[in-house]
Amino acid sequence: MIGCSHQTAAVDFREQLSFTGDQAREAISAFREQFPECELVLLSTCNRVELYTAAGESAPGHDLDGGPDRSEVLEFLAQQRQISVDRLMATMMYRSGTEAVSHLFAVAASLDSMVVGETQILSQVKEAYDLACTSGSAGPLTHAAFQAASRVAKRVQRETTIHRKRVSVPSVAVGEVASEFFETLAGKTVVLMGAGDMGRETMRYLLDAGADDIRILNRSLARAKSLAGEFGGRVMPWDDLDLALVDADVVVGTTSSPDPIITLDRFKAIAPKRYDRVLLILDLAVPRDVDPAVGKLDDVYLYSVDDLQAACERNRQERQRQWPKAKKIIDEETLRFVSELHHRSTGPVIQRLREHAEDIRMEEWVRLNNKLSQMNVSDEARREIEKSLDRVVNKLLHPPLASLREAAMDGHQSSLLAAIKRLFSLGD
């Protein structure tokens, strides 16, 4: 893996390096043309750009088995994004073998994200892998690694609470506060004031909570229609806000107004028409959209940004407490993945080597046993001699097999495999 993230590179550098969907397809095509024997998955998000390369057979002069070395990947990337190689060399991080696998698993499980526990990164990793599959740049190693990454991320989600604690104000407002008042937002009238970025983010959580009657009001009617066109919902003119408040079960404020929109006098004027129905107000705006005095009225429950941010911080701390448990899962799964990969790549050679050694041992034991019989050596003594012969063979086999296992764990076993096959005449 060669790449950078929010942890290693400033946003302006990441912007220069990032790929759109079409650019990623073109880059993969160019990479395949330049390195036809190498697999590639290109992951590009707002917080990271990472190239995962892999190959199965060794080639002279390459530190990746059969693929380009670090400098060749950097040169390719420099050409693609029109950035100097020196600048890339100074900023990009490099991981290989077990470290690259562990990094991928941590990324997919969102342990390496700017907001630990966010769920969007897993879908982005899947999209990058899907693009590699459709572009023909994925292969046996990347198939195995990225499929395992998805499984590992789901295990982290299942066995820790790192993804369950919401840390954004809109997610806490809808997912935790609103859910305490209403089992579902289905059948409830939700009034959304504001159609900017905060309103857009809130819409996603409202829909996830089952909201099916969302009324969008914004001073710019065009922006309200744009938001409704993207997510659904009913657009109402800004001047109809009082009418919307009469029907509302939930009101969400996300405007950029410098002054409160719902004042105490304004709400008192429409309160009789609500017939003492409970109203939940989630004021996500800064400055506030709702006069705090409104929250003191009967049947009105008002939560401001300060109230919600306190919950966000508690959840953020809880996520951090879950991090060691999630990291332990990553370590376990990395070891498991590399061991399985090692078994697939070295298993047949190890088996042939053991069979080869066993054939030699049996041949020598038969010859020796015949002589021992002629010498009237006792059965007990012969059993001890046979055990000694077994131990000698196992001790002779241990160093090459241990070296092969260690090399496989580091992802560089190919040259050692070839040497063992040649030294012991094991064939292909």
DSSP state string for 404-420 = HHHHHHTT--HHHHHHH
What residue has token string 């719902």? 262
H-only helix segments in 271-304: none
CA angle 16, 119, 315 (to 5 degrees): 110
| Total residue count of the chain as it appears in this document | 428
Please, are residues 81 and 13 in contact by the beta-carbon 8 Å criterion? no
Q: At what angle do helices 379-409 and 414-423 cross, to 10 degrees?
A: 150
312 tagged catalytic: no
Bridge partners (DSSP) listed for residue 54: 39
Rounded Cα distance, 242 and 262, in Å: 9
d(CA 129, CA 139): 11
Q: In Å, what is the CA distance from 115 to each residue of 75, 234, 306, 312, 402?
A: 31, 32, 20, 12, 41
Best CA proximity match to 330, nearest among 128, 95, 111, 41: 111
Name the token pair of 33.
Answer: 């043309």
Residue of 4, 38, 46, 312 with catalytic role: 46
d(CA 342, CA 417): 11
Both structure tokens of 196: 């900017």
Look-up: residue for tokens 């990746």?
64
HSE (side-chain half, CA atoms, 13 Å) at 347: 8
Residues serving a catalytic function are 46
